[in-house]
Each structure stands twice: as C-alpha cells, then as structure tokens.
A and B are shown apart, each in its own frame.
Chain A
Amino acid sequence: MGSLDAAAQVPSSPAVLEMDDVSFAYGERPALDGVSFAVRRGEAVALVGPNGCGKSTVLRLCVGLDVPDAGTLRVAGERVDAQSMADAGFAKRLRQRVGFVFQDSDVQLFCPTVRDEVAFGPRQMGLSEDEVAQRTNDCLALLGIEELADRAPYQLSGGEKKRVSVACVVSLAPDLLLLDEPTNALDEDGERRVVAFLRAYVAAGHAVLMTTHHRDLVEALGARVVRMDAQHHVVAAD
C-alpha cells in the first residue's frame, strides 16, 4: 500500500486534516490507493508527484467535492464521508473551515467585479456590511490587488486572477487552505505576495496543503513534503 503515518512526525500540534488508508476511483479509473497522511496546525505541507498521481483528487476529497470510496478522512476531528456531506449544515461548516483555491482561476471566479468576488463569502456568512467591507479591503490589501477592486475578473491577467482567487477564499477565514498549484501563472511580484501571505497565515497557526511542482515554493514556505507516486500511493514524507 505504501501508506505512511506522516502525522507522527509533527506531534506537537493537533491535526487539522487526517487521511487514513483512503482510496478513491473515478468510475473504474483509480485515483488514490490507500493514502495516509496528516496536516497539523501551523504547518505547510506540499503534495508532490507526477501528473495524474492523484494530488488534486486529495484536495477535492478534503473539501467534500468527492468522498472516499474506502478509508477514513477527518477534518478538525470530524469525519468527512457521504453521510456527513449530505448534511447541508456540516457541508457549509466544512467549506468555511477549509478554503480551496482551484488550479484554474477561470473556473473559480463568477462575480461581476473583484470586490463582489471577495465579498461573496463574508456576505453569505451573515456579517454586517461594515464587517464585509472590512474583510474585503483586508483581503485585497493582503494579496496586493486593491487597484483591481472594481475590475471584472474575467478581464484580468492569469496572475491577477490567481491572487483574486486566493483573496476570495481567504475572506471566509478558513483554518486550512488547500491550494492546487498556487504559483502557476504568477509573476515574480505576485509570487512574493502570495508566499508572504501564506507564511503569515501558517505562522498564525493555520495550515496549508498545496500541490506543486516548484521546489522554490516548497523551500520558501518551509513546507513538509508528502510525495506520491504514479500508482496513487503516498511513498515518502520529508
């Protein structure tokens, strides 16, 4: 199976995410086979491995877009499976707690302006308009996109869209941030901004789980590496 109890390596803080012997298939095509690892508060974890090994599938499971065929997945101690995801309240709590930034920003953004995009989540949470405005402005500033606030998202460059995608997820104040190839399409300045934000986010006691092929990003965040192979197993963790 190639499973590995990575959680044992960072014993000091509680696990925000635990995968134990999780398997999943798209129809008859296997995507994960007996995957086990954990992400603890205050750490960044990088999932690395060849294309098609199941890295993005891990992220989809973590946020309940798909549910494991076998094995156990827990987020903040609560089990995520078909039964729990059928409960609308649970699904919403999970998705506030776990933010997911898609690899392709074009499929993440659907509001008329960047400001509406970032304010979408906080508005849903029932915050007052003052609080929504505060959160929106904070997120725009954190990602350095204040000047884009009134632009239409689909008119932005790839790197700008990526930063907007991160901002609109961060405005939900999640405990765990899932990022699928977060620095794709980012220029040097954009990457510096996103890395600075992620470092501060992790330092505040939150957790980051990302898929990436960029060694520089892993080093810049001091991320623990969980390596997957083409057979959809976790084979090693640094």
Chain B
Amino acid sequence: MSQELPTWLAESPAYEPPRDRDGFVRTNLLRLAALPARMAQAAGKPAFLDRLLQPVPALVRFAGLIVSVVCVSAATNMAFVWVVFAAVLVSLALRPLPQLRATAPVAALAALIAGLVVLPGALMGMAPPSLVVRMAVKTFCTVGLTLGLAQGVPWSRMASALTGAHVPAAVVFVADAAMRGIFVLGRVAQHLNESLALRSVGHNQHKSGSAGAIMGMTFVRASIFAGEQAEAMACRGYDGTSTAAPERASRVAGVLYALAIICVVALFVWFERAMGVG
C-alpha cells in the first residue's frame, strides 16, 4: 500500500503562531492537573520526621491529626495557633525538596484563598482586620498538618489501620478505590491537559469549551474506570471483604505519640484558659 501526501503536508510551510492569551491553560491547569502525580512522586523517599514516626500506628497519627485540626480551628488565642504554625514550618523544613515543593505551595495557596475570602468583610468593617491573618494562618496549619500526614503515611498503611480498627470492609474498600481513582484520574487529567497544550499551537477561540471538554473527558474516564474496576474485582472473586492486612505497629510508640497529642490538647486548654482571647 503506497500513499501520496497532500501538498500542505508534503511541503509543511513555515508557521508563525498568532498571539493568544492562553497562559492560564499553559501553566495553571497543567500544574493543577499534575498535582496528584507530583504528590505520588514526592512520596518516594520518607523524610527524616516520617522515618522517626514510622513505628507509630497510622490510626494514632490520624487521630492526632483530627485532634490537632480541631484545636487549631477552635483556638481563640492566637498564641496557640502561632505555636502550631511554627511546628508546621519546622516539619516542612525537615522535608526533602520534592516533598516541600509538593506540600508548601498547596498550604500557602489554601491560606491565601482563606485570607481573600475574609478580606472583603474586613475591608467593609464587618470583621476585625486581624481575622484575615487568623484565617490564613489557621488554614495553613490545618492544610500543612493534613498534607504532612498524607506524605508520611502511605494510604496502604492507613487502609490496614482502618481494617485493624474494625472499620467495615466496604468502607475501607470504597475509600481505597477512591484514593486509587484520584491518582489515576489525576494522571488522565494531566495527560489530557498536556495534549491540549501540545495541540494549542495558535489562537483558541473556545478556551472555556476546551477546558470543559477536558473535564468532561475526565468524568467519562472516571465512569469507565469505575465500571472496569468493578468488573475486574468481580472476575477476581471480590465478595465484599477487605483485602488489606491489619497493621503491625509498635504499641510503645503509639502510647508516646498519644501522650504528645495530650500535651498539645493541654497546651490548647492552658492558652485558652490562662491567656484568654488574643
């Protein structure tokens, strides 16, 4: 089978792209879509702090996170929040550069958005100006703590911990499948955005349409992925029981970590009672 190319393809005349304001697609969408992949990439080598906390049961660390987030959110005295903020900064500083790159910008962005949400109210005198800083710092702390746990405790360990804590198998499986789905679809969205960027060689008159098409295709892929996974699980004899083995962790490390969390709660209560609103 031999073919002849059309003239426009055989000659490939020189091309000068028209100007277009598509920096948003070229940078922000690509970065956003690449976030799950960057998180997965960064999770490769455990940081010093995570190696130190390795023996602590995942469930205890998760409980510690919840308690810390509640304390930070409920704190009326900013001194406690600044202490946690300092601790979060130290924990970020102890992370290797790829992990730092994957977590610090996300926490900073979340803090910025939280501050911006409160800003109009503060400008109109409906809330004290200090609330802007308070919201931003609290958000940075909670997001930083959550991402720190996500980086330090692989999801497989968390699933095992949930199984060990007698959480219903269906709940563990759904959470497990959802986590996998987020990473798989994150990769799909990243590649679709790359494909859009590669073929956006000129002036795109329908930018929102293209962005919508990417989201639509990601949802289509999500639906196909879920269906195929359900069929594959059925073929492999999935009967509703969790496949995650219960976690084996150090009881002593768990108790020590729990004591540290109790100290955090005590500090929170002391700041609230002794120092009042500040």
Contact = CB atoms under 8 A, between A and B. Distances in A.
Contacts of B197: 65, 95
Contacts of B13: 173
B194 interface: yes
B17 A110 contact: no
Interface string B147-190: 00000000000000000000000000000000000000000100
Given A96-B17, A170-B9, A173-B12, A65 B198 contact: yes
Interface in A190-236: 192-193, 196-197, 199-201, 204-206
B98 interface: yes
Contacts of A168: 199
Contacts of B41: 26-27, 29
Interface string B129-144: 0000000000000000
B84 interface: no
Given A96-B17, A124-B202, A104 B3 contact: no
A138 interface: yes
A27 B201 contact: no
A106 B200 CA distance: 18
Interface stretch (A47-55, A67-75, A86-94): A86-94
B4 interface: yes
A172 interface: yes
A110 B217 contact: yes
Contacts of A110: 192, 195-196, 210, 213-214, 216-217
Given A88-B26, A125-B15, A172 B201 contact: yes
Interface string A82-124: 0000001101110111001010101111111000000011011
Contacts of A173: 8-9, 12-13, 15
Contact of B3 (A123, A125, A142): A142
Contacts of B23: 88
Contacts of B98: 27-28
A63 interface: yes
B8 A135 contact: yes
A174 interface: yes
A175 interface: yes
Nearest to A93: B17
A109 B44 CA distance: 31
Contacts of A172: 199, 201
Interface in B1-27: 1-6, 8-10, 12-13, 15-20, 22-23, 26
B54 interface: no
A124 B203 contact: yes
A205 B11 CA distance: 9
A126 interface: yes
Q: Which of B188, B196, B217 has the most CB of A within 10 A?
A: B217
Contacts of A200: 2-5
Interface string B40-54: 011011000000000
B226 to A, nearest CB: 15
A199 B2 contact: yes
A135 B8 CA distance: 8
Interface string B194-229: 111111111111000010011011001100100000
Contacts of A201: 5, 9
A28 B45 contact: yes
Contact of A107 (B2, B5, B191, B200): B191
Contact of B6 (A63, A123, A138, A205): A138
A95 B221 contact: no
A108 B42 CA distance: 26
A204 B26 contact: no
B44 A27 contact: yes
A27 B203 CA distance: 33
B12 A175 contact: yes
Contacts of A65: 194, 197-198
A89 B17 contact: yes
Interface string A148-175: 0000001000000000000011101111
A106 B201 contact: no
A104 B8 contact: no
A117 to B, nearest CB: 9
Closest 3 CB pairs of A and B: A107-B191, A124-B202, A92-B17
Given A104-B191, A173-B13, 7 more contacts: A28-B96, A93-B201, A110-B196, A110-B210, A120-B199, A192-B1, A193-B1
Interface of A: 26-29, 63, 65, 88-89, 91-93, 95-97, 100, 102, 104, 106-112, 120-121, 123-126, 131, 134-135, 138, 142, 154, 168-170, 172-175, 192-193, 196-197, 199-201, 204-206
